[in-house]
Amino acid sequence: GQQVMQIPQYQHVQEGEDFTTYCNSSTTLSNIQWYKQRPGGHPVFLIQLVKSGEVKKQKRLTFQFGEAKKNSSLHITATQTTDVGTYFCAGRMKTSYDKVIFGPGTSLSVIP
């Protein structure tokens, strides 16, 4: 079946260090979305990537969509304690009108 995988599952970094999470889909995607979920909270939309090879930046966050539209990454520069949470990628499948499949997430801990 269609799967979206993410690595690593957990990441502990010292405040100020960089962080990257990688997302891979078993099938080609129409687009990919990234969400952040704080402990005890609900997923909050961060960004959507649509085009092959697309790169988008939001302050210290950089998002990339692979050329084959099967993988993506999120990179955070100089992490802060406010970055703590779980980051999910979610891929919209080409074979489905509006179904989005979430990856298992990468849980980020930032040590002050």
The footprint of other proteins (CB under 8 A) covers 4, 30-31, 33, 41-45, 48, 50, 88, 90, 92, 96-105
- Output the smallest distance, CB 103 to other proteins, in A: 5
Strand 61-65 and strand 100-102: the pairing is unpaired
- β partners of residue 75: 20, 62
- Output the smallest distance, CB 78 to other proteins, in A: 26
Q: Which is nearer to other proteins, 19 or 87 (CB)?
A: 87
Locate 97 and state its tokens: 């009108």
Q: Which is nearer to other proteins, 57 or 99 (CB)?
A: 99
DSSP 88-99: EEEEEETTSSS-
Q: Which is nearer to other proteins, 8 or 41 (CB)?
A: 41
Locate 38 and state its tokens: 């704080």
End-to-end CA distance of the chain: 41
- Output the smallest distance, CB 74 to other proteins, in A: 14
